Amino acid sequence: MLPLPTYEDVLAAARRLDGHAHRTPVMTSRTMNSETDAQIFFKCENLQRMGAFKFRGAFNALSKFDARQRQAGVVTYSSGNHAQAIALSGALLDIPATIIMPNDAPAAKMAATRGYGGKVVTYDRYTEDREKIGNDLAQQYGLTLIPPYDHPDVISGQGTAAKELIDEVGPLDALFVPLGGGGLLSGSILSARALSPACKIYGVEPEAGNDGQQSLRSGAIVHIETPKTIADGAQTQHLGAHTFEIIRREVDDIVTASDAQLVDTMRFFAERMKLIVEPTGCLGAAAARAMAGELRGKRVGVILSGGNVDIDRLCALFGA
Ligand SMILES: *Cc1c(COP(=O)(O)O)cnc(C)c1O
């Protein structure tokens, strides 16, 4: 395991991202505040470059490459937002990017990754191991592997979103963060513990894939089968060694949201706030709504982690 990142690393990441990542807006809704009887601040990472907070971790990690690493390039495995984040960061920093994707990944996602200049290598998800392919390519061509969440530079980059939120609105009583492999949650923990020490921090998983909750309860990383949920950015099978270590020590709790709650919350954002938030991006907001009874009168931060959802899929989810 590499040394765990600290808030100092988040500060360094914020300096690297300055002028490259968007400082995304913090939005509020009177309707949501009166529904919950709390003051809720939404950090809109659905409006981040490439549509999700993952640009932060990817750009931070690639910015730290030395001359040899830059020339040889980066490799990663992802079929989702991390793929696009690495491809875009590689293009901006002039670092060749190779992305390993399952051969049945949606064509639109492969096209988006190629559109940002990434080289896509496909594999069979039923017979091949993507981590092994990544390590083999790294060995063979001298590429640097940047995984989607379990890396100190990815974690510290992701932590800059919560830092910006608290810098802008001041200390919080509670913070809700979507949870997949834990890069966003562990980075948010570093910032929230430094800037708002009394803040309660909640990770939010899909109900169908609560491996993080099980891991927290049992004290060891629990592995599960790929969960069936519309929250495709949180279909991870287990937390990472680095992310779990930070989460285990510092998180207040890990809670879950059902697919029905996610759709209802997506509809709220679209209708009332004119925001497109992808299902995974709604996890934090759905949990905050469900826990309103405990949040009465409190100042609550919610990270809207991403907005990448096809319009056709959005319509299907809304039953149109
Ligand atoms: C990746 C992702 C998550 C989960 O982030 P982790 O760092 O893996 O926990 C949440 N929301 C969106 C939109 C994502 O792309």
187 within ligand 1 shell (Cβ under 6 A) = no
**Domain termination site, one of 145, 175, 203:** 145
Question: Is 237 in the same domain as 288?
Answer: yes
Residue 181 CA, closest ligand 1 atom number: 8
Residues 233 and 198 in one domain: yes
Same-domain pairing of 209 and 294? yes
180, 264: one domain = yes
- Closest ligand 1 atom to the C-alpha of 45? 13
Mean pLDDT within 197-206: 98
Confidence of residue 3 (pLDDT cuts 50, 70, 90): very high
Residue 100 Cα to ligand 1 midpoint, Å, equals: 18
Kindly state whether residue 174 falls inside one of the protein's structural domains: yes
Return the best residue to mutate from 44, 146, 280, 308 for the ligand 1 pocket (most ligand atoms within 8 A of CB): 280
Same domain, 45 and 74: no
110-130: pLDDT as tens digits: 888 999 999 999 999 888 988
Q: Give the per-residue pLDDT at 104.
A: 84
Which pair of structure tokens corresponds to residue 276?
A: 């497109």
- 134 and 202 share a domain? no
Residues 161, 173, single domain; the answer is yes
The answer to whether residues 63 and 197 belong to one domain is: no
Q: Which residues of 2-32 are buried (b: 16+ CB within 10 A; e: fewer)?
A: eebbbbebbbbbbebbeeebeebebbebeeb
183 alpha carbon to ligand 1 midpoint, in Å?
Answer: 7
Q: With bands split at pLDDT 50, 70 and 90, how would you rate the model's confidence at 302?
A: very high
Domain-located, residue 228: yes
Last residue of a domain, one of 95, 117, 145: 145
Q: Hey, which of 43, 45, 156, 184 would you mutate to test ligand 1's pocket, going by the most ligand atoms within 8 Å of its Cβ?
A: 184
Asked, for residue 127, whether it belongs to a domain, the answer is yes
Are 201 and 179 spatial neighbours (Cβ–Cβ below 8 Å)?
Answer: no
Question: pLDDT by residue (tens digit) across 7-30?
Answer: 999 999 999 999 999 999 999 999
Determine the distance separating the centroid of ligand 1 and the alpha carbon of 139, expressed in angstroms.
27
Given a cut of 90, is residue 109 above it in pLDDT? no
**Any catalytic annotation for residue 211?**
yes
Which H helix or E strand runs over 315?
helix 311-317
The contacts of residue 197 (CB under 8 Å, 6+ apart) are: none
34 labelled catalytic: no
Calculate the alpha carbon distances from 187 to 43, 121, 128, 263 in Å.
Answer: 15, 29, 31, 26
- 174 and 117 in a common domain: no
Q: In which domain, by residue range, is 259 found?
A: 7-52+151-319
Write down the pLDDT at residue 61. Answer: 98
**Digit-coded pLDDT (tens) for 231-269:** 999 999 999 999 999 999 999 999 999 999 999 999 999
Q: Is the model's pTM score more than 0.95?
A: yes
DSSP string, 109-120: HHHHHHHTTPEE
- Asked if residue 1 is part of any domain, the answer here is no
Question: What average pLDDT does the segment 277-285 reach?
Answer: 97
Which residues are bridge partners to 145 per DSSP?
75
Does 41 share its domain with 59? no
- CA neighbor of 318 nearest in space, from 238, 248, 275, 262: 262
Ligand 1 close to Cβ of residue 54 (< 6 A): yes
From the list 9, 45, 164, 205, the catalytic residue is: 205
CA torsion 180-97-162-79 (nearest 10°) is -20
301: buried, middle or exposed (CB in 10 Å: 19+, 13-18, 0-12)? Answer: buried
Question: Catalytic one among 63, 78, 79, 191?
Answer: 79
pLDDT of residue 80: 87
Residue nearest to atom 2 of ligand 1 (CA): 233
Ligand 1 and 233: CB distance under 6 A: yes
Say whether pLDDT at 151 is over 90: yes
Identify whether the C-beta of residue 192 lies closer than 8 Å to the C-beta of residue 165.
no
d(CA 232, CA 314): 13
Domain boundary among 99, 130, 145: 145
Any catalytic annotation for residue 79? yes
Nearest alpha carbon, ligand 1 atom 14: 233
Percent of the chain scoring above 90 in pLDDT = 90
CA nearest ligand 1 atom 5, residue: 180
Here the tokens at position 258 are 């059902």
86 and 133 part of one domain: yes
SS3 50: helix
Domain tally for the chain?
2
- Residue nearest atom 4 of ligand 1, based on CA coordinates: 180
Predicted pLDDT at 247: 98
CA distance 277 to 275: 6
The answer as to whether 98 is a domain residue is: yes
Domain membership of residue 2 (yes or no) is no
Whether 54 is a known active-site residue: answer yes
Query: Could you tell me if 163 and 276 lie in one domain?
Result: yes
Residue 40 maps to a domain:
yes
Pocket test for ligand 1, best of 53, 55, 215 (most atoms within 8 A of CB): 53
Q: What is the CATH number of the domain that holds 239?
A: 3.40.50.1100
Q: Is the CB of 179 under 6 A from ligand 1?
A: yes
Do 303 and 43 meet the contact criterion of CB atoms below 8 Å apart? yes
pLDDT value of residue 126: 83
- Is residue 249 within 8 A of residue 226, CB to CB? The reply is no
27-55: per-residue pLDDT in tens? 999 999 999 999 999 999 999 999 999 99
